[in-house]
Amino acid sequence: MYVFREMTDYSYPRIAEEFGGRDHTTVIHAVEKIKGLLTERHTVFDQVNELMGRIRLGTGG
């Protein structure tokens, strides 16, 4: 959900719909949770950045 939010212009409700019709507040919570983890844990930061880089390059690795 965090990656969707960062890499698209999708709204919270749109992302929620893409994830099986969840409530948009679930997306907000998930995004905020990951934002917190990105500052607290370097491994999470590295993993998310690697994933987003692969998506940008179009590689699944």
pLDDT of residue 3: 97
Q: How far apart are the C-alpha atoms of 23 and 35, rounded to whole Å?
A: 19
Question: Quick check: 61 pLDDT over 80?
Answer: no
For 33, the domain range is 2-57
pLDDT of residue 60: 62
Q: How far apart are the C-alpha atoms of 29 and 1, rounded to whole Å?
A: 10
Tally of structural domains, the chain: 1
CATH of the domain at 35: 1.10.1750.10
Q: What value does the mean pLDDT of the chain take? A: 95
Query: What count of residues does the chain have?
Result: 61
